[in-house]
Amino acid sequence: MNCPRCKKPDTSVIDSRVTDEGRAIRRRRECEKCEHRFTTFERQELSSFIVVKRDGTREPYTREKLERGIWLACTKRPVTQDQIDKLLTKLEEKWTASRGEVESMTLGTDVMKELKKIDKVAYIRFASVHREFKDVEEFKEELGKLFH
């Protein structure tokens, strides 16, 4: 594994732990040349599926992309990487089981439901960005619940 900073191939593992309920290994690595430290993940490959977007186009599902969207909603919220990992792993099992294709709307709605259990503010943010509320009234209702 090359160092992301100086590109030298000599990096050593300084810490290694199993995470995501045994589905992934997180490794802390250190470059032997510049001492830069970075993290790598080794993860079980889930049989992938296709996401059907609103405009009808299709693309392979990538966890990274969805995770980025979730983290945007979780900015400055007390949400941990572990919680997001668990959320995604749980949902990916469901989506993969559906075999073949999953609509992007379904991804959004499922993430929303799970996020709601973790952090209400992140949930509202995610929902508003993805415009998953049926109408403005529903959105206001959720906001109302949040601030009462």
Provide φ and ψ at 140, rounded to 5°.
-60, -40
Question: Could you say whether residue 31 binds Zn ion (CB under 5 A)?
Answer: yes
Question: Could you say whether residue 36 binds Zn ion (CB under 5 A)?
Answer: yes
How many contiguous H segments (helices) and E segments (strands) does the chain have?
A: 5, 6
Q: How far is the CB of 15 from Zn ion (least distance, A)?
A: 17
**Sheet containing 101-103: order of strands:** 58-60, 50-52, 101-103
Question: Could you say whether residue 6 binds Zn ion (CB under 5 A)?
Answer: yes
Question: Could you say whether residue 37 binds Zn ion (CB under 5 A)?
Answer: no
Instruction: Name the one range near Zn ion by CB under 5 A: 1-9, 38-46, 67-75, 102-110.
Output: 1-9
Element (H, E) at 96: helix 81-97
**What token pair was written down for 28?**
């802390």
Q: How far is the CB of 9 from Zn ion (least distance, A)?
A: 10
Instruction: Name the one range near Zn ion by CB under 5 A: 14-22, 35-43, 79-87, 102-110.
Output: 35-43
Instruction: Name the one range near Zn ion by CB under 5 A: 16-24, 29-37, 41-49, 76-84.
Output: 29-37
Strands 50-52 and 101-103 turn out to be parallel
Which amino acid is located at 112 in the chain? Answer: M
Q: How far is the CB of 16 from Zn ion (least distance, A)?
A: 19
